[in-house]
Structure 1
Amino acid sequence: MLRFDGRVALVTGAGRGLGRAYAKYLASRGAQVVVNDLGGSAVGVGADSAPAQDVVKEIEAEGGHAVANFDNVAEAPEAIVRTAIDEFGRLDIVVNNAGINRSENFGKNSLEIIKQHMSVHFFGAAGVTAAAWDHLVASGVGRVINACSPTLVGFENQTPYVSAKGAIFAFTRTLAMEALKVGIRVNAIAPTAATRMSDEMDAPEEFKQFMRDNYPQSLVAPVVAYLAHEDCAITGETILAQGGEVQRLSLSETTGMLDKDLTPEAVAENIETILDPGTSTPIGLVGAEGTKDALSMP
């Protein structure tokens, strides 16, 4: 049984939804947990200490150990990490789950919305990870799990959200290379689950109920727990977790074409070959020691 006795986990955005599920699952397996949540709305407005406090109470009622933190990941990452050190004396696991989602058509006012999403999703994750880095190194079994998304393939009216998740995908793969040298594993989770965001989206009630019936949060948390455990040897991966399905989300390249006298006309003539998905192969990580597939790390 993969347990976390003696380990300390920090989960951002843990007052509701998937973050709450991650925090409670890790605590149920013995981890001491920092439950971070600003308590704002799904679109990033307001603040409320109750959600994080409620999750701490739930964990403690089940015999676990947890402490609440209400800082904004985009503004006070050091304070969030300091809560873990002050309360538990160490930090072994960071789950960068905090996020917002404001669905809107792209237009002249989109830049500010994109900046807001990047501030929370990307800079929030990068900031908390940076603040936690030395403690994760000291742990000897440091683990970072970032929140990516299946919408990475593209999703209408979601340019700010998906763009921020694209940054998380690249951040995860690149940081994993450096992290290997200091004993840290960095991966991402791309979940599909019924959450506050899916409940509040502009969609038919039948779809929302379908999400609740088929994509429970309880079928994502075990994957995060695996990625957080010291027995997890993979790094740089993004793992899809959708209603019990667990899959790899990866970059790939096709066989394509080769022409040393390349012209636009040659590209046009061979575009179907260039895009042929039947010739796709995954792209492995490239590190100081050469190309390595993340699933075959030493």
Structure 2
Amino acid sequence: MAEDIVFSGEVAVITGAGGGLGRAYARILGQRGCRIVVNDVGRPHGEDVPVAQSVVDELQAKGIEAVADDHNAITDGGAIIETALDAFGAVDIVINNAGIGAGSPIGPNSVDEWRETIDATLQTSIAVTGAAWPHLIERGGGRIVMTGSPAMFGAATTIPYSATKSSMYGFTRSVAAAGRRHGIVANNVMPSALTRLTQSLPPGPMAQLFADHYPPEDVASFVTWLCHRSCTVSGESFSVGGGRAARVVLSENRGVLVDDQAPESWAAHVDELMSLDEVVFPLSMNDEVTWQAHTLGKSVPAELTPGGPLDWNRKPRP
């Protein structure tokens, strides 16, 4: 039987925690023994109390240690971490939950429009993770959670959001690889949940689907496991929602070799090129490049494949 998921005063920094998923994370982690830094820049229209402070008031009423932070994660990632250090003297868990949705289709989008989305998702994650990094190393390790999206699979009406959320896959794998020797575990969740973002969807079947079947608490329970010291899974992405979680991986097929490098040669092999009968799962840049060399019949130094060569249809290495 799995051990109980409880914490012993670990400090969790959660960006975008003034509502939706972030608030759900703060609640369950606090209830399970974490001390919480609730970061959010939001302030409800016509109200004096920032949303971060409202969540902190709710947590403190339940006996949970928590502080509010209203620094902008895009420009002040270091200040958010300083709030944690000033209040609790440590950082153990970082949940990069801040972000915005952008509903732009393809077209002559302005650079500023795209930049806003990139900054709110990717830049915030880079800034806060980078600021926390030396403190996690000093603690002998920690847990980092990124926030991707099912939009990674494509979203024609919200292309900046889809593109930016897709970047979380590679960012997470790279952070996990860098953190491995320090005991830092990093994973990426792609949540389906009723949040401030999905509540803004136009009325219709998709909005109703979120309202009926995807409470944020279902994602929060999974993220709580990812944040616990017993979770050693790292570098992975998970589609999570409604009480279900699934590992998401990138794969490639056997590939096609042609003797004649004319464009017509590739056109003649489109069925093989598109086949998914045999697939392999590269888990790093080295995996990909050395596998290419292997399929070309080139010699690959053993030190470049410490886990052994990739095999068709084999499970990815953990």
Return the TM-score normalized by structure 1: 0.91
Give the residue type in structure 2 aligned to 1:196. Answer: R
Deviation at 1:108, TM superposition (A): 2.1
- Structure 2 counterpart of 1:50: 50
- Structure 1 counterpart of 2:128: 128
Pairs within 5 Å for 1:1-298: 1-39=4-42, 50-204=50-204, 206-285=205-284, 290=305, 296-297=317-318
Deviation at 1:261, TM superposition (A): 3.4
CA distance in structure 2 between the aligned counterparts of 1:259 and 1:209, rounded to whole angstroms: 50
- Structure with max Cα Rg: 2
Q: Return closer, same or farther for 1:260/1:228 CA change in 2, 3 Å cut-off.
A: farther
Deviating beyond 4 angstroms after TM superposition, the runs of 4 or more aligned structure 1 residues are 45-49, 286-289, 291-297
SS across alignment from 2:182: coil
Deviation at 1:266, TM superposition (A): 2.1
CA distance in structure 1 between the aligned counterparts of 2:174 and 2:183, rounded to whole angstroms: 15
260-269 or 159-168, larger mean C-alpha shift = 260-269
Deviation at 1:187, TM superposition (A): 0.8
Q: Return closer, same or farther for 1:286/1:177 CA change in 2, 3 Å cut-off.
A: farther
CA distance in structure 1 between the aligned counterparts of 2:117 and 2:247, rounded to whole angstroms: 25
**Stretches of structure 1 lacking an aligned partner (at least 5 in a row):** none
Decide whether the 8 Å contact of 1:285 with 1:291 is kept in 2.
no
After superposition, the CA RMSD in angstroms is 2.3
CA distance in structure 2 between the aligned counterparts of 1:215 and 1:200, rounded to whole angstroms: 15
Deviation at 1:163, TM superposition (A): 1.3
Return the TM-score normalized by structure 2: 0.86
Decide whether the 8 Å contact of 1:148 with 1:190 is kept in 2.
yes
Deviation at 1:282, TM superposition (A): 2.4
Report the number of matched residues.
Answer: 293
Residues 235-260 of structure 1 deviation map (CA, whole Å, 9 limit, x = unaligned) = 11111102111101111111122224
**Stretches of structure 2 lacking an aligned partner (at least 5 in a row):** 287-302
Give the residue type in structure 2 aligned to 1:26. Answer: L
Q: Return closer, same or farther for 1:281/1:244 CA change in 2, 3 Å cut-off.
A: farther
CA distance in structure 2 between the aligned counterparts of 1:48 and 1:92, rounded to whole angstroms: 31
Decide whether the 8 Å contact of 1:141 with 1:230 is kept in 2.
no
Residues 109-137 of structure 1 deviation map (CA, whole Å, 9 limit, x = unaligned) = 33211111111101110000111001111
Decide whether the 8 Å contact of 2:253 with 2:275 is kept in 1.
yes
Deviation at 1:289, TM superposition (A): 6.7
Deviation at 1:166, TM superposition (A): 1.8
CA distance in structure 1 between the aligned counterparts of 2:164 and 2:115, rounded to whole angstroms: 9
